[in-house]
Structures are given as C-alpha cells and as structure tokens.
C-alpha cells in the first residue's frame, strides 16, 4: 500500500514540474512562433523596397521639438521631418542585422501599430531610413497588409 502512495507522489511531483516548466517556457515559445510568422510576412512586404533594414538590440530616441522654430535637431533623421510635426516621430537605432543601415525613423502611428518596445528586433523597408513604409517587430507589423 505504501508503494502506491509513493508512486502517486512521484507522479504528482512529475506533473507539477512539467506544469511549472510549461508556465515558464510556454509564453516564450508562443512569442518566438509569433515573431517567426510576423517576420516572414514582413520580409515579403519589404522585398519590393529599395532599402531594407534589419535591426537588433534597438533603442528608441524620441524627436524633441525646440522652440521657437519647433524643429527637432536632436538627431539627423528628426531634423529631416517638418518643423512642428517632428515631435511625433521616434528614431529607432540598433545593431545592423542586415540590410541598408542601423537607424530608421517611425511616425507615432507606425510606432503604435508595430507594437515596438525597446530592445525589440525590427524589420523595416521603404525608400530611405526617413521614409519607411513597412515596420515589423515581435509586437506586430505596420504596413504588412
């Protein structure tokens, strides 16, 4: 009889350990699978653009307007945007993982739709670093459809 109680304890402990492992690794596996789907879609969407960017270990730099002209001189990509509107943009810089450069600039809507978070990997495509049309991160994709 004591043998069956020990067997039940071992089975319960094994199931509990498997449950803990799945709770810990489950979200990571799902995020990895989601990023694989998003990145495949983004690679297809960016293939028609002359400039394609692949960035890892990214850092955002918010464009900051300076009175009275309200231009954004804190980054050269910010300075390319119109005065008064440049504060709605964010430069994403990181290590180049392929493509045309290590910096892009996103509008507020691209930033929101792509679900960008600091440190994310980014796939982007467009006419230049200042004119990106497609932006994909593990959080989503802007311009993929």
Structural domain of 15: 2-142
Residue with tokens 């293939």: 47
pTM for the full predicted model: 0.77
Mean pLDDT across 45-51: 88
Q: In the numeric block, which tokens belong to residue 123?
A: 């796939």
The b/e string for 102-140 (b: 16+ C-beta within 10 A; e otherwise) is bbbbbbeebbebbbbeeebbbbbbbeebbebbbbbbbbb
What domain count does the chain have?
A: 1
Contact 123, 39 (CB under 8 A): yes
Question: How far apart are the C-alpha atoms of 45 and 125, rounded to whole Å?
Answer: 8
Distance set, CA 66 to CA 26, 37, 58, 63, 69 (Å): 46, 40, 25, 10, 7
pLDDT tens readout for residues 101-145: 899 999 999 999 999 999 999 999 999 999 999 999 998 999 887
Mean pLDDT across 29-45: 85
């Amino acid at each position: 009889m004591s043998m069956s109680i020990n067997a039940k304890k071992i089975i319960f402990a094994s199931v509990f350990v498997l449950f803990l492992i799945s709770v810990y690794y489950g979200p990571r596996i799902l995020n990895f699978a989601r990023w694989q789907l998003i990145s495949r879609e983004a690679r297809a969407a960016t293939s028609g653009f002359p400039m394609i960017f692949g960035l890892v270990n990214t850092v955002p730099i918010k464009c900051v307007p300076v009175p009275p002209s309200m231009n954004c001189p804190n980054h050269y990509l910010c300075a390319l945007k119109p005065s008064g509107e440049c504060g709605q943009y964010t430069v994403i810089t990181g290590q180049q993982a392929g493509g045309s450069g290590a910096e892009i600039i996103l509008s507020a809507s691209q930033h929101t739709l792509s679900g960008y978070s600091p440190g994310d990997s980014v796939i982007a495509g467009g006419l230049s670093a200042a004119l990106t049309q497609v932006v994909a991160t593990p959080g989503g994709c802007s311009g993929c459809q």
